[in-house]
Amino acid sequence: MSLLTDLSIAVAAGKRPDTIRLTQELLAGGTSPQDVVEQGLVPGMAVVGEQFRRNEIFVPEMLVAARAMKEALKLLEPLLAQAGIKPKYTVVIGTVQGDLHDIGKNLVSMMWKGANFAVVDLGTNVSAERYLAAAREHNAHLVGLSALLTTTMPAMKETVRLLKAANLPNVKIMVGGAPITQAFADEIGADGYSADAGSAVSTALRLMGEAA
């Protein structure tokens, strides 16, 4: 097995020390930071997403894998920045106004980071205006809205309305959360819906026009 494959396996298993060690070994051996991300971390996190979608792993295992990935990225991001390499896509994510629940939003955020998206996480209780300002400021390709409460679904609708009215070029909107359905996503004019964090990457890539 190659070190890149070992890295994928270590990330998927959430083995933080192994993930750091393998990242360091790969870099020392001359593998480019971009290849470490795209051929080591991204495939590892893709496995995590698929296992989560199939109920083979659950939230604790997913969070541990994401933490291992983050540790590797701490080593890689300065090198990527130095080389002027940026992720292809930028996404803005948050939980809508009035809603303080963040576990679902965090899981999706991690999966998007694991797919090598630049993620701007606005946190919870995010107003429609803050989403819009962040989308403009970061030239986002995608805005992700999360809601856990049925009472905050109207805030999601309002945020989608404001973002659509701003007519930002090439910005797609994706929604999710326990009470959210494809029908609701369609009704409020969102471009995409994901039922779980495991499928959030493939939905986002599809919205970006890439085969997932």
Partner 1 sequence: MTPIERVRRTLRGEPVDHLPAQPMGMMFSAKHAGMTFTDYTKDGRRMAEAQLKFVADYGVDCLLTCSDPAREVIDIAGDGSVDWFPDQGPVINEERAALTAKERLETFRLPDPLGGGRMHDRVKSIELMRSAAGPDLSIVGWVEGPLALAAELRGLNNIMMDFGDDPAFVHRLLAFCADVAIAYAPAQIAAGADTIAMSDAAASLIGPELYTKFLWPEQKRVMETLRQKHPGVIRRLHMCGRTDPLLTQMREVPVDIYEIDFPADLKTARERLGPDRVIAGNVSTVTDLLQGTPEQVYEACRKCHQISGRYHIVSAGCELSPLTPPENLRAMLAYAREHQPGDHG
| Interacting residue ranges for partner 1, rule: CB under 8 A | 14, 55, 57-61, 63-64, 67, 98, 100, 102-103, 106, 150-151, 153, 178-179, 181, 183-184
Can you tell me the distance from the alpha carbon of 199 to that of 210, in angstroms, rounded to the nearest whole number? 14
Q: Rounded to the nearest whole angstrom, what is the least distance from the CB of residue 186 to partner 1 in the complex?
A: 12
Sign of CA dihedral 104, 110, 116, 117: positive
* Residue with smaller CB distance to partner 1, 38 or 102: 102
Q: Rounded to the nearest whole angstrom, what is the least distance from the CB of residue 27 to partner 1 in the complex?
A: 27
Q: Which residue matches tokens 């995010």? A: 126
Can you tell me the distance from the alpha carbon of 109 to that of 14, in angstroms, rounded to the nearest whole number? 17
Q: Rounded to the nearest whole angstrom, what is the least distance from the CB of residue 104 to partner 1 in the complex?
A: 10
Can you tell me the distance from the alpha carbon of 174 to that of 11, in angstroms, rounded to the nearest whole number? 26
Cα–Cα nearest to 147, from 209, 190, 206, 208:
190
* Residue with smaller CB distance to partner 1, 64 or 133: 64
* Residue with smaller CB distance to partner 1, 59 or 81: 59
Q: Rounded to the nearest whole angstrom, what is the least distance from the CB of residue 114 to partner 1 in the complex?
A: 17
User: In angstroms, how far is the first alpha carbon of the chain from the final one?
Assistant: 25
* Residue with smaller CB distance to partner 1, 97 or 203: 97
Q: Rounded to the nearest whole angstrom, what is the least distance from the CB of residue 26 to partner 1 in the complex?
A: 25
* Residue with smaller CB distance to partner 1, 105 or 172: 105
Helices within 138-181 (DSSP H only): 153-166
Question: Helices then strands (H, E): number in the chain?
Answer: 10, 5
